[in-house]
Amino acid sequence: PAMTKERLAEMRDEFWFTQPHYGGSKEIWDALKAAFECQDMATTRVIIDSAGIVVAAPDMTVCYDERGAKYEIPMFIVCDPVNLASAPHAARA
């Protein structure tokens, strides 16, 4: 089944909220979130560089901080799924 924009937003919010509890620095997670939510590549680069984040994968799915902690980012954070659908017009009960 296709994923709705609303469900994708929920999944992304849940990921960013819970991920710092599993390891790594909250400051780095916050910087990664800001970088992924930024629409401007130059600003994204400044955020990544300022936080001292090392991007280990070209799609940014694997990053490290200056202490060597690994940060894995799922693809649903990196880009929208190809089967993304609009929410149904009828309200759910």
Instruction: Look over the chain and give the mean of its residue pLDDT values, rounded to a whole number.
Output: 89
pTM of the model: 0.84
For residues 65 and 28, the answer to whether their CB atoms sit within 8 Å is yes
What distance in Å separates the CA atoms of residue 3 and residue 87, rounded to the nearest whole number? 9
Residue 90 reports pLDDT greater than 70: no
Residue 25 reports pLDDT greater than 90: yes
- The pLDDT, as a whole number, for residue 74 is 95
- The pLDDT, as a whole number, for residue 82 is 83
- Determine what percent of the chain is predicted with pLDDT higher than 90: 73
Residue 43 reports pLDDT greater than 70: yes
